[in-house]
Amino acid sequence: MNLVARQFQFVGQRLAPVSLCLFMALATGLGWSAAQDDLLSELTLEQRVAQLFIVNLYGGQMTEAGRDFLRDYQPGGVVLLGDNLGDPAAITRLTNQYQQTIAEAGGIPLLIAVDQEGGPISHLREGFTTFPTPALMTAAGDADLAYRVGQAMGRELRAVGVNMNLAPVADLETNRNNPIITRRSFGSDPQQVSAALGPFIEGMQAEGVLATAKHFPGHGDSADDSHTTLPVIDLSRERLETVELIPFKAAIEAGVSTVMAAHIWYPALEAEANRPASLSAAILSDLLREEMGFDGLIMTDALDMDAIDTVYSYPSAVLAAVQAGADVVIAAHIGLNAQMAAINAVAEAVRRGEIAEARIDESARRVLAAKAAFGVLDWQPLAVGEAAARLDLAGHEALVQELFDAGVTIARDVGGVLPLRDDTAVAMIYPATRTQIMRECSPYSVAVQWVGVSGSPSETEIAWAVDAARRQDVAVVFTQNAETDRAQQALVRALPPEKTVVVALWSPYDWLAFPQVAGYMVTYSPLNAAVPAACKVLFGAVESEARLSIALDGITGG
């Protein structure tokens, strides 16, 4: 398939990485649409259909079955999951194997995708930067910082041969009981989230990595997990347009390459009962494509999630998604035989006239355009031994610290307790396992009485803390998910609220267990970089300009 490299060489070298929407516009004006048609005409129907599939190949090394599948079926992409992962060298070796296999078969280079959101969902861990939960970016309120975080994440992915990120989450954290979006979202307010989301996408795509805004048209208000059941979000059309859809509009304006659809039924948008957005023409084709003007790739969420696979067979789900307007279907744990069956099922549906061939060509052309725009078609193997050096971990560690310094938020300050004054006598109550807290905060004041307690403090430890707080001007308590730990709640409630400051090292919702405290600070993420940032803000070494990005019972931040 040398025709691919020849026809798209200029685009890959000169235009990448531009937004997919911009590329599509340029392609039409420069005649690249004709080049895509020439390429499509050389592909069999099955090869065109296969470009719509992102599949998983099991194992940390190329297996014989995986090699045969790539050679024979030539899917559009591969997603990396837990059993594929390792250190940067191992992942580089694996992505090289995938792409080399396709190249030797004369096929089209692959999209290679991974879930790397930052925070809890970060599949690349060993030897990679640990990025904090995205809400910290929103709290910082710095578009340039958000851009650089996206850029850094994109650079690390591209360094190991990954060219597509199944992130960012564009869902709003509007339901604190949401079992799947909480702690993954950029925040609660659509405008505040959009201001960080757009630059983050632009930064990632500037490094040649396709970004994916998910889960359209918004998973944030669900109380159910689509991995186990079909959620229903019964909000009005007006509410969806003025809240949930706003971050997706910002993502589209930022040139996001891909939008992933949710396995959720929205009665205000889809009249057929229990028809998920991922299989809904009204949502994918009418709303996203036509009304919102999105010209990039529409992708389903994984079609083996229980919201789908308890109702549909995999081939029937794929057919429904393609008919609804999806350009890319993805599955996490579907075997290769089932993938073959699904590709064949779509091709047979075209031959029977159930799906127009033009519908397949439309999506295949979009996939090829995305690969061209982001330099995928110009794939070259990466040096495995240089993988770690390409990541710039030291630079990204400094960036994460900068993000915490800007994002740690004073959410509540009654009576001007914060920042702590030089002459303030402080009882500092902290999890004793986190000795870093004493090390980082000690240089700012000598007037501190340190009280180390257990993660779930005993009655004796609580008594120590109460005694220390009684003797000092202010009591500062570091909590870790106190919202679900009654012992931590008992400790804070035992302290005099008028002179107690809580520093929440993970869940921003800890405050709801003790809303009468005088001061409340949020770090959003429990990484080590949160501690020096919290100490700086506590003692006024850094003046916090951050705004609370997660709504807590009406509090909007300091």
Catalytic residues: 227, 301
What distance in Å separates the CA atoms of residue 326 and residue 259, rounded to the nearest whole number?
A: 10
Distance, in Å, from the CA atom of 275 to the CA atom of 282, rounded to the nearest integer, reads 10
User: Which DSSP helix (H) or strand (E) runs through 376?
Assistant: none
3-state secondary structure of 330: strand
Residue among 346, 344, 296 nearest 321 (CA): 346
Angle of CA points 26, 170, 14, to nearest 5°? 25
**Under DSSP, is residue 24 helix (H, G, I), strand (E, B) or coil?**
helix
Q: Are 299 and 327 in contact (CB under 8 A)?
A: yes
Distance of CA 111 to the CA centre of its chain: 17
Show contacts of 39-47: CB within 8 Å, 24+ apart: 39/3, 39/4, 39/7, 39/368, 40/361, 40/364, 40/365, 40/368, 42/1, 42/3, 43/364, 45/347, 45/350, 45/351, 45/357, 45/360, 46/73, 46/343, 46/344, 46/347, 47/74, 47/107
- The answer to whether residues 316 and 276 touch, using CB atoms and an 8 Å cutoff, is no
Q: Are 305 and 214 in contact (CB under 8 A)?
A: no
> What angle do the packed helices 143-159 and 393-407 form, to 10 degrees?
150
Q: Longest C-alpha distance within the chain, in Å?
A: 83
- In this structure, which amino acid lies at residue 166? L
CA–CA dist 164, 211 (Å, integer):
6
DSSP state string for 125-172:
-TTS--PPPTHHHHHHT-HHHHHHHHHHHHHHHHHTT--EE---B---
Phi, psi torsion values for 519, nearest 5 degrees: -135, 150
Instruction: Please give the Cα distance from 246 to 217 (Å, whole number).
Output: 10
In sequence order, what DSSP letters do the residues of 189-239 get, joined into one string?
-HHHHHHHHHHHHHHHHHTT-B-EEEEET--TT-SS-TTTS--B----HHH
Nearest 5 degrees, angle CA 131-CA 132-CA 137? Answer: 105
3-class SS of residue 57: coil
Residue 77 forms beta bridges with which residues? 54, 111
Distance CA 384, CA 91 (A): 9
CB contact at 8 A, 115 and 380: no
Report the distance separating Cα 80 and Cα 381, nearest Å.
Answer: 18
